[in-house]
Amino acid sequence: MKYVVFAIAMMGVPPLAVIISLNKTWMKYAVWAMIAALAAYQGTAINFFSHEWYRGTSRGMEVSVVYLFAAAMLITAMIKRRSPKFVPSTGAALFVIYFALCLPSWTSAENTLFSWMELWKMIMLYMTYRSVRAYLNVTDDVGSIIKGLAVFVAFNFLLIVKDHVSGVYQPDGVFPHQNCLAMAMHLFANLFFAYFLIGGWRGSKLNIFAFVAAAGCIVRTYSRGAIAMMPLSFAITFVLVTFVGVKTPKSRLFRRVMPLAVAGLVGLAAMLPRIIERFETAPEASKNTRVELALCAKEMIIDEPWRGVGINNWGIKINAPYEYAERAGRNPNRGADFKDGIVETVYLLVGAECGIPALVAMLVWFFYYLILCVRLVRRMRGTPYVAIPAGIAGGLVACYLQSCLEWVLRQQMNLILLMFFFALLDHLHKNSARLLNAEQGVTSA
């Protein structure tokens, strides 16, 4: 029945595109609906050729309501003749190169259908990126996307509060896992922290609440890696805003931060026993498993350095009859029915499944946007827009470092959010001169 409903929804995409093309306000509602659909992602996504038992990064050819709104937005931009080019930016070109370098891994895959599932995910992600760029091309409305993301954070926080009251040890909100939640909230917490630094307590109350909510979500997940990244990521955002991005006296910014620091210490002290317990009671087996699976990934890279063992084929190649686990010294007495997990670092996972060239391409794609953030902070100095690259920079550092311990950046929801932020950065980069002139005109008026 759900496939019938989804088919009907797909047929409604072209009419929806025509309707929202009539009015920019309706386009804004459509992009908000896209973000709202992300909050309901797990309940609205459908896996075609589903293999729910499979322990891999994709378990079906996943199609979500998010993608339907993204397709409608692209069609709308075509109607208005403002559709972005197929490869509209350097960052987009780097993603396309990364995708192309993943394709050879298909030839070494044991199960090519599983490989297609992951490649399909990448295609959908790229469509999402282009749809956000299309919306911004037509409307130039950065503020509505920021507002929609703030509401997304607030809704997620309310779910975390509900789970906390219910006694859930590590809540995950709308995300499939608490580590996914923690990594996503780093991007939001730093973004809205930057907005707070610029606007102070008189700034947008929604943005301030979103900052507090996102930071609270990170701590409440009790994710050790995410909590460890918080001081560093906030420090990077603070330095970029204070010493590069604004003309406000630095003493005023320090005064804005002091109440937050005190409140943060009080909140941390209240939750410290649980956090310490989380660090102290972590099983030794968890650490050993991470190390052993990393050694397995090393064996796969040695065996197939150029094309990998097959994208989204880790769950097959780590188990019998393949001998990577045994070669790496992984426990040989696991039983015939045992199915091993995924290596807990996205970098080794990509290197093992897709080869070293694809890994390098992914790293270049990731770090291009980090460098772009720093450049945009300098370029947008003295404007409210500076909060976007400054906040995203701190969040990206946290995500990239946490990815040394987690494979979350192969999770669909986290990657969709990443595409939202990358689209925002590319729009600012392409239109920085015009946006600066408009902002100066508003200031002088």
Give me the chain's average pLDDT, please. Answer: 87
Tokens of 108: 């070494």
Predicted confidence (pLDDT) at residue 284 exceeds the cutoff of 90: no
Residue 445: the pLDDT is 45
321: preceding bond cis by omega (within 30 degrees): yes
Residue 253: the pLDDT is 72
Residue 4: the pLDDT is 73
For a pLDDT cut of 90, what percent of the chain falls above it? 55
> CA-CA distances (angstroms) from residue 183 to 47, 59, 373, 431?
24, 21, 18, 29
DSSP string, 358-385: HHHHHHHHHHHHHHHHHHHHHHTTTSGG
Tokens of 32: 């908000």
* CB distance 348 to 305 below 8 Å: no
At residue 158, the 3 state secondary structure works out as: helix
* CB distance 346 to 366 below 8 Å: no
Residues 6+ apart with CB under 8 A from 261: none
Choose among 376, 421, 426, 432: nearest CA to 398.
421
| pLDDT one-digit tens code per residue, 191-201 | 999 999 988 77
Choose among 130, 123, 103, 148: nearest CA to 355.
103
Residue 303: the pLDDT is 94
Residue 275: the pLDDT is 64
The predicted model scores a pTM of: 0.92
Q: Taking residues 405-429, what's their average pLDDT? A: 94
Where exactly are the structural domains of the chain? 2-282+348-444
Burial label for 80, CB within 10 Å (0-12, 13-18, 19+), is middle
At residue 62, the 3 state secondary structure works out as: strand
> Which pLDDT band, with edges at 50, 70 and 90, does 440 fall under?
low
CA distance linking residue 380 with residue 246, whole number of Å: 9
| pLDDT one-digit tens code per residue, 39-68 | 998 888 888 888 888 888 998 888 899 999
Tokens of 265: 């210490």
Residue 285: the pLDDT is 58
> Which pLDDT band, with edges at 50, 70 and 90, does 276 fall under?
low
* CB distance 407 to 57 below 8 Å: yes
Between 111 and 204, residue with greater pLDDT: 111
Residue 444: the pLDDT is 47
> Which pLDDT band, with edges at 50, 70 and 90, does 2 fall under?
low
Predicted confidence (pLDDT) at residue 249 exceeds the cutoff of 70: no
At residue 47, the 3 state secondary structure works out as: strand
Q: Taking residues 433-442, what's their average pLDDT? A: 71
Predicted confidence (pLDDT) at residue 443 exceeds the cutoff of 80: no
Predicted confidence (pLDDT) at residue 101 exceeds the cutoff of 80: yes
The H or E element containing residue 351 is helix 346-354
| pLDDT one-digit tens code per residue, 187-224 | 999 999 999 998 877 778 999 999 999 999 998 888 88
| pLDDT one-digit tens code per residue, 347-359 | 999 999 999 999 9
Between 436 and 369, residue with greater pLDDT: 369
Residue 439: the pLDDT is 66
| pLDDT one-digit tens code per residue, 83-97 | 788 899 999 999 999
Residue 279: the pLDDT is 60
Identity of the amino acid at 264: G
| pLDDT one-digit tens code per residue, 360-395 | 999 999 999 999 999 999 999 888 899 999 999 999
Q: Taking residues 276-302, what's their average pLDDT? A: 77
CA distance linking residue 375 with residue 240, whole number of Å: 11
| pLDDT one-digit tens code per residue, 314-347 | 999 998 888 888 887 776 556 566 677 899 899 9
Say which range, 155-159, 218-222, 296-300, 329-333, has the weakest mean pLDDT.
329-333
How far the first Cα of the chain sits from its last, in Å, is 58
> Which pLDDT band, with edges at 50, 70 and 90, does 267 fall under?
low
CB atoms within 10 A of CB 428: 21
Residues 6+ apart with CB under 8 A from 375: 389, 429
Say which range, 270-279, 290-299, 415-424, has the weakest mean pLDDT.
270-279
Predicted confidence (pLDDT) at residue 26 exceeds the cutoff of 70: yes
For a pLDDT cut of 70, what percent of the chain falls above it? 88
> Which pLDDT band, with edges at 50, 70 and 90, does 135 fall under?
very high
Predicted confidence (pLDDT) at residue 241 exceeds the cutoff of 80: yes
Choose among 408, 416, 402: nearest CA to 177.
408
